């Protein structure tokens, strides 16, 4: 995993080198400071020469200025390195998300996925920037300070060395606790985000059912858990930082007492004494740095692990190695012995055989859950068949590239998903880059032009998130306009009008009929009235296809269709009566 992580540095190697060398240089300058002070006290001060003192001060000032510059470089370019790596990872993650199939999304929570691409990668970026640099400098300063201490005074250095294991123990002991706590916290954050996302997204349902108290209680539970885990992390952090502080002060005190003894005995000069005390300060800085690394590192590692998990999820629907771009299709569709199920061992479709001639309209009818939608989802390869095959114009759909296959299928779904942009942007989603005239023509054919004229901002009207500012019928029209613009030879209409009132439904049926003209159309409909004119009606139930034919034939034959038809006639008669 570490190799994989460092692989991301490769394109930014020069930036890394710049940041790293500046950071190392700054570390060395820090290390040199106590030595300079020692020389100042021992060698310069006794000479009582102000020129020399001022000269030394100027030299020190120059070093400070250099260090200031180095710090600026490290802060800006170091972070640039982090954000570059983060951006690249985010790009890859998003690319990968677009490749994952419906089956993947069926089993995921949006909040979790959002957290992976945002928060998780933010933490990774932080570690990418600070991780290697901090670790290296910490080790360098630690060993450097130690070596310098020995060069100044061996007994004092040995005394300091006795205390180090104690501090080392405290750091590692609390460090591992901290790692585990952060890891747990991260798991919670994902679940927490997912809950917030779901509740906020479903706020209309929450309010409609008056279930605010219920949601509040669920939220409070998660919120409290989050707080508890975070508090635990802070408790460990508090213990670790204060212990570090105590360790440092105790060491300083011991060094001060022992140092005073050596000074009074004439075994240590004043400069060496002051320099040594300063070295103790420098020596402890890496301990603080390592504590900081211990805090950010687990977060970054946890984030990177989740990122890798996502990238390693192989897309189950991909282009076959020898897939070719589909030619312009006429739309003759065949299902041959098709079997499919969402769960292993639980087939929804078994041995389906179907032939849909090009340009015709075929309607699927049957009880809820029979598999009508599933049957249609297999055509654009939202899911792949388990056995058998589907062909269009004699070509297996798995032999075509996904993009070229999907470009030739238009879908109008029951639940129209609109993006939170303008009417224009949402229509143009049917064919990105369409001209203004083409967008207007598509809107006209979907009978949206009346609405657009009435709106003060016309096509530039914002539709709200998921199109909340539009009526159900308007959303359907918008979906139809998109498909007019896309102009595919094959069309899937999934219960497109069942949520509308009779009047609107009739008007939209006309638009749909126009849309279907000249295209192979698969309609999933519950209202038999809307599909009477279909070229063929396919009746399905849990056992598969039970009958096929035109309306007149099916209604004359005893069976499921006749029963469904009779139920709906009575129902309609009752409404009319
Ligand atoms: N994404 C999914 N994951 C798991 N099972 C699913 C999924 N989608 C549908 N199913 C199941 O597959 C079966 C067929 O569902 P499908 O939506 O195809 O039926 P349908 O005939 O279109 O129903 P309706 O008329 O109510 O829309 C049902 O038992 C359903 O619960």
DSSP 511-553: HHHHHHTTSEEEEE-S-GGGGTT-SEEEEEETTEEEEEE-HHH
Q: Judge if the beta carbon of residue 348 lies within 6 A of ligand 1.
A: yes
Max Cα distance, the chain (Å):
121
Pocket test for ligand 1, best of 338, 374, 414, 543 (most atoms within 8 A of CB): 374
CA distance 57 to 216: 63
Looking from the CA of residue 540, the nearest atom of ligand 1 is: 21
Looking from the CA of residue 366, the nearest atom of ligand 1 is: 21
Q: Is 563 helix (H, G, I), strand (E, B) or coil?
A: helix
Looking from the CA of residue 343, the nearest atom of ligand 1 is: 4
Pocket test for ligand 1, best of 369, 541, 542 (most atoms within 8 A of CB): 369
Average pLDDT per block of 10 residues along the chain, 577 residues long: 86 91 88 87 88 90 91 89 93 94 88 84 86 80 89 90 75 69 71 80 82 89 85 80 80 90 93 91 76 74 88 92 94 95 89 92 89 93 95 96 94 83 90 92 89 87 77 86 93 72 76 87 82 87 87 84 77 50
- Name the pairing type of β-strands 536-541 and 361-365: parallel
Q: Judge if the beta carbon of residue 265 lies within 6 A of ligand 1.
A: no
- Tell which CATH architecture fits domain 2-312: Up-down Bundle (1.20)
The residue whose CA is least distant from atom 10 of ligand 1 is 342
What per-residue confidence (pLDDT) applies to 150?
A: 92
Q: What DSSP character marks residue 12? A: G
Separation of 534 CA from ligand 1 center, angstroms? 23
- pTM of the predicted structure, to 2 decimals: 0.80
Q: Does domain 415-487 have CATH number 3.10.580.10?
A: no
Separation of 373 CA from ligand 1 center, angstroms? 7
Separation of 94 CA from ligand 1 center, angstroms? 28
| In the chain, domain spans | 2-312, 415-487
Is the CB of residue 551 less than 8 Å from the CB of residue 357?
A: no
* Sign of the alpha-carbon dihedral angle for 478, 480, 485, 491: positive
For 388, phi then psi, to 5°, come to 80, -170
Complex prediction ipTM: 0.94
């Amino acid at each position: 995993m570490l190799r994989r992580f460092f692989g991301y540095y490769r394109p930014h190697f020069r930036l890394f080198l710049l940041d790293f060398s500046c950071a190392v240089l700054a570390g060395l300058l820090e290390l040199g400071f106590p030595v300079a002070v020692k020389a100042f006290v021992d060698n310069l001060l006794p000479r009582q020469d102000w020129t020399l003192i001022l000269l030394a001060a100027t030299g020190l000032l120059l070093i400070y200025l250099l260090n200031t510059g180095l710090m600026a470089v490290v802060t800006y370019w170091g972070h640039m390195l982090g954000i570059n790596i983060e951006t690249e990872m985010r790009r890859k993650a998003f690319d990968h998300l677009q490749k994952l199939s419906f089956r993947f999304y069926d089993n995921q929570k949006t909040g979790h996925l959002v957290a992976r691409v945002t928060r998780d990668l933010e933490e990774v970026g932080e570690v990418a920037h600070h991780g290697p640099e901090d670790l290296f400098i910490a080790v360098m300063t630690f060993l450097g300070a130690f070596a310098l201490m020995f060069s100044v005074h061996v007994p004092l250095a040995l005394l300091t060395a006795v205390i180090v294991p104690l501090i080392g123990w405290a750091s590692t002991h609390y460090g591992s606790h901290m790692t585990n706590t952060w890891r747990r916290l991260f798991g919670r954050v994902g679940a927490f985000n997912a809950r917030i996302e779901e509740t906020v997204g479903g706020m209309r349902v929450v309010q409609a059912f008056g279930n605010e108290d219920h949601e509040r209680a669920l939220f409070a539970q998660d919120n409290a858990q989050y707080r508890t885990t975070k508090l635990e992390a802070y408790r460990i952090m508090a213990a670790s930082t204060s212990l570090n502080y105590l360790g440092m002060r105790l060491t300083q005190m011991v060094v001060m007492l022992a140092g005073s003894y050596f000074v009074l005995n004439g075994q240590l000069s004043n400069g060496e004494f002051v320099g040594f005390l300063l070295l103790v300060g420098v020596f402890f800085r890496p301990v603080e740095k390592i504590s900081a690394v211990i805090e950010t590192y687990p977060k970054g590692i946890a984030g990177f692990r989740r990122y890798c998990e996502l990238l390693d999820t192989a897309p189950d629907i991909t282009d076959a190695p020898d897939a070719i771009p589909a030619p312009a299709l006429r739309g003759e569709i065949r299902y041959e012995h098709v079997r499919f199920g969402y769960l292993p061992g639980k087939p929804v479709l078994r041995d389906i055989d179907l032939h849909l001639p090009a340009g015709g309209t075929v309607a699927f009818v049957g009880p809820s859950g029979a598999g009508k939608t599933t049957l249609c989802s297999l055509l654009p390869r939202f899911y792949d068949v388990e056995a058998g095959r589907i062909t269009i114009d004699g070509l297996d759909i798995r032999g075509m590239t996904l993009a070229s296959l999907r470009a030739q299928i238009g879908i109008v779904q029951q639940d129209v998903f609109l993006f939170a942009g303008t009417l224009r942007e949402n229509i143009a989603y049917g064919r990105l880059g369409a001209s203004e005239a083409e967008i207007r023509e598509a809107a006209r054919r979907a009978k949206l032009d009346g609405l657009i004229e009435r709106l003060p901002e016309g096509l530039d009207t914002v539709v709200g998130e998921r199109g909340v500012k539009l009526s159900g019928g308007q959303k359907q029209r918008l979906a139809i306009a998109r498909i007019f613009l896309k102009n595919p030879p094959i069309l899937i209409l999934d219960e497109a009008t069942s949520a509308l009132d009779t009047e609107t439904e009739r008007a939209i049926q006309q638009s749909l009929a126009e849309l279907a003209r000249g295209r192979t159309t698969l309609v999933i409909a519950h209202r038999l009235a809307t599909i009477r004119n279909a070229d063929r009606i396919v009746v399905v139930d849990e056992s598969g296809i039970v009958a096929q034919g035109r309306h007149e034939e099916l209604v004359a034959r005893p069976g499921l269709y006749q029963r469904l038809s009779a139920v709906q006639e009575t129902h309609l008669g009752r409404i009319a009566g």
